[in-house]
Structure 1
């Protein structure tokens, strides 16, 4: 691959980066579609996708961060008069 300079930019290198990004964006879209399908399948069997998304988000979190977030949620809900079981 021979780089052609255009305004100080190596065009072939730039094109290569752009094409790699585009391929990854296509893969990301395909994965997002697959995830959407799984949530739809789970919903059709009676599971709540909204709650499943929350669980996935919580499982990604560090244990200490999650506990801190839950503690703050308790403080806020009590301060607003909302009872959290």
Structure 2
């Protein structure tokens, strides 16, 4: 009996994961559409992606990354 319960639990977990993966794909498609819309109105999508990435970071990590980038740019004379 425990085999059937474990199999049932496993099936339920797999089905939940599959539903969430489908939702994730839908959300990814929606995000892609927003970037396409922004691009069609003249925004630079690469820069927008960088801004989104930076906004996800905590301030001290963002400051550290920006300082390191500036240091590297100065070292290369950029």
Bin of the TM-score, shorter chain as denominator length: over 0.9
Unmatched runs of 5 consecutive residues or more in structure 1: none
Tell me how far 1:81 sits from its aligned partner.
1.7
TM-score between the two structures when normalised by the length of structure 1: 0.85
Q: Is residue 72 of structure 1 aligned with residue 68 of structure 2?
A: yes
Report the counterpart of residue 38 of structure 2 in structure 1: 42
Higher helix share: 2
Q: Residues 5 and 11 of structure 1 are in contact (CA less than 8 Å); yes or no, is this contact kept in structure 2?
A: yes
Corresponding residue SS for 2:67: helix
TM-score between the two structures when normalised by the length of structure 2: 0.93
Higher strand share: 1
Q: Residues 4 and 12 of structure 1 are in contact (CA less than 8 Å); yes or no, is this contact kept in structure 2?
A: no
RMSD value, Cα:
1.6
Distance in 1 separating the partners of 2:8 and 2:19: 16
Unmatched runs of 5 consecutive residues or more in structure 2: none
The 5 Å alignment of 1:11-22 reads: 11-22=7-18
- Displaced runs of 4 or more, over 2 A: none
